[in-house]
Structure 1
């Protein structure tokens, strides 16, 4: 199930636009049943899926770097080739493609500052972590493209 969720998230992120959500389509209501029709047997109620107890918080780089000084873990979810071109000091590289297999490397007892190049992959990993019970997940806005130059 986790693989299906991760693959679905990855596929949605790779195909969806970054800024706009797709517009919902409306469907016509089904025609009313004739009065003589027998009522359908009552269906057993389906329990609603449990909503995640935590949410993702977006943070800017200044706040992320301050949080890192106070013990938060900075995680770069870009590929090793991208990381070789530069990354935030002290960050750990766990590429999006390896997040599911390496989930044990994401500490649950610390704030997790997730970043990628621009923000799509970090949001996918952040959602994956929330779905797997993590509660202290922060997405670094703008990704490494917004990293402050010194």
Structure 2
């Protein structure tokens, strides 16, 4: 009888835990987008701004030697993985508030870890009137190791 009662209680706990997980997932899906993603959503329509240009690391490193600035949009803890030469760290979530730190008269080479955030950052910068902005393909994961 005790075994049956324990089995019933254990089953009830598993059921309650599964239902809690579903509710938690529903809450996560219902949460508003982070500030940077909201800013990206408020961009000018794509027809009104220049198209995003993507380049590989070889081209980006060449451009950097000629004065282009690397902008790393990863969060500070991610920088422990390494970073491009003389990169300026402006996390995607802070981009809207730190636009003044990025010159419009220089080429900006935007990268993140894998490429998703850098695409969002590049599109956001284009929507804000930047024209010399390049998304570095593959993010830091594709950075050439020497």
Task: Tell me the TM-score normalised to structure 1 length.
Answer: 0.67
Once the two structures are superposed, what CA deviation does each residue of 1:59-117 show, in whole Å capped at 9, x if it has no partner? Answer: 00000000000011100000000013311111110000000000111110011100000
Q: Which residue pairs with 2:64 in the alignment?
A: 68
Deviation at 1:51, TM superposition (A): 3.3
Deviation at 1:6, TM superposition (A): 4.2
Larger Rg: 2
1:148 and 2:144 are equivalent in the alignment = yes
Task: Tell me the TM-score normalised to structure 2 length.
Answer: 0.69
Give the SS at the match of 1:102.
helix
Q: 2:75 aligned to 76, 79, 93, which one?
A: 79
Gaps of at least 5 residues in structure 1 are 11-48
Q: Distance in 2 between matches of 1:115 and 1:80?
A: 14
Count of residues in correspondence between the two structures: 110
CA contact (8 A) 1:6 1:128 kept: no
Q: Distance in 2 between matches of 1:123 and 1:76?
A: 12
Do the aligned partners of residues 135 and 8 (structure 1) sit closer, same or farther apart at CA in structure 2, a change above 3 Å counting?
Answer: closer
Q: Which residue pairs with 2:128 in the alignment?
A: 132
Q: 2:112 aligned to 116, 121, 138, which one?
A: 116
Q: Distance in 1 between matches of 2:144 and 2:46?
A: 38
Deviation at 1:55, TM superposition (A): 1.9
Q: Which residue pairs with 1:97 in the alignment?
A: 93
Gaps of at least 5 residues in structure 2 are 1-33
More helix by share: 2
Give the SS at the match of 2:47.
coil
Deviation at 1:128, TM superposition (A): 0.5
Deviation at 1:50, TM superposition (A): 8.3
